[in-house]
Amino acid sequence: MLIKEIKLENFRSYDFLELPINKGINLIYGNNGSGKSSIIESINYALSGKSFRTSETNNLIRQNTDQLQALIVFFDGKTIKVTKKTNNTAIITQNKGQKKENYTSLVKKFPTCLVENKEFFFTSSNPEQKRSFLNKTLFYVEHQESKKINELKKIITQRSGCLKNKDFNQLKYWDEQLIQIEPQITKLNTQICNNINEQLRNSEVVQLFSHKNPWLSNLFVKYTPGFSENSKFSDVLCENLEKDTLLKRTTAGPHKRSFDILLNNKAAEETLSRGQQKIISIILHLIQREIIKTHTDLDPILLMDDISSELDKENANLMLKYLIDNSVQTIMTSIEKAHFSTQKDVFLFHVEHKGDTSYVKRL
């Protein structure tokens, strides 16, 4: 599903914006604070209900107004319109208001792969960010995953309540539930990490980057289950009971799952430059996109914020070659256009900020 046009009203610094989107690579460049990231944010928000810059969606509404609208028009004629009033839940309609939608069904139909600043360095990302990456991949690969994750959240919440109240009789019940669901969560996440490692060995994108970056052949993603792998999880819960009671929360378990990125069995960030670490993140997101596409027959839109920083021209060209060769619709932002302006397959847009309003000009 390819985007043809974006229309925004009162979104961040945009009073009104109509932006045509090409089927290939769209580069939006401009100075820091000009409003370029807000365009990526608006697409992500319209199709997922989430902002990668704030947890408070009221902040997306332009100052001194009380409502934003975002309209996404696709090449097949379908539309998604989001209307968000201050302190109200967003209203989502599909196909010119003919059908009301919710974000769960919308995310299934219109997947995106988002690479933004804090995810450009997965090697040093916190476990929550890595969990989010795993959860999103599993959402499209394993349909029961969302149900299992919701069950896990409920168990952890109930267990925390028992710890706060020192209700050890009820605590035993929720311990049993947690012990029962742990191997299911671990199995799902281990499988997705195995899938990622298989892609790291065989995917086109890794093979393309490997010519300049031979170290990629020694890259490996290691799943961490959220507790010591050398211990039985039931024993971990017993050993942590005093600490958990004191802190009033469950300190180890599948809700703390994550993954490590290893190079020659060492933490990748210990030996790689920031530019190399950025290459890893780009590759992992492109692999995520390939996995989603394989399991859904959908073509996720690629959103990349601040792509040019710390990425040298040769690696930027390798990335562009992959995106062009595979017809990946990409909407990316950059402070400058130097790495991309000579590419005939890249469509350029320049963002300027005047007063309190952003404007976009197509070049």
pLDDT in tens, 122-167: 888 889 999 999 999 998 988 777 789 999 999 999 999 999 999 9
Residue ranges of the chain whose pLDDT lies below 70: 97-99, 118-120
- Whether the model pTM is above 0.95: no
SS3 192: helix
Contact assessment for residue 276 and residue 121, using Cβ atoms and an 8 Å cutoff: no
Nearest one of 63, 61, 19 to 40, comparing CA atoms = 19
Specify the length of the chain in residues.
Answer: 363
* DSSP class of 61: B
| Other C-beta atoms lying within 10 Å of the C-beta of residue 296 | 14
| pLDDT number for residue 310 | 78
| pLDDT number for residue 352 | 96
**Alpha helix (H) ranges present in the chain?**
36-48, 103-109, 127-141, 145-165, 168-202, 204-210, 233-239, 241-247, 274-296, 313-325
| pLDDT number for residue 314 | 92
Token readout for 286 is 């492109």
| pLDDT number for residue 244 | 97
Q: How far is CA 273 from CA 74, 230, 264, 276, 304, in A?
A: 39, 32, 15, 5, 20
Whole-angstrom Cα distance, residue 205 to residue 225? 28
How does pLDDT run across 254-284, given as a tens digit for each residue? 999 999 999 999 999 999 998 899 999 999 9
Q: Is 310 left (phi over 0), alpha (psi -120 to 50) or beta?
A: left
- Domains (range + CATH), the chain: 1-111+298-363 (3.40.50.300), 120-297 (1.20.1050.90)
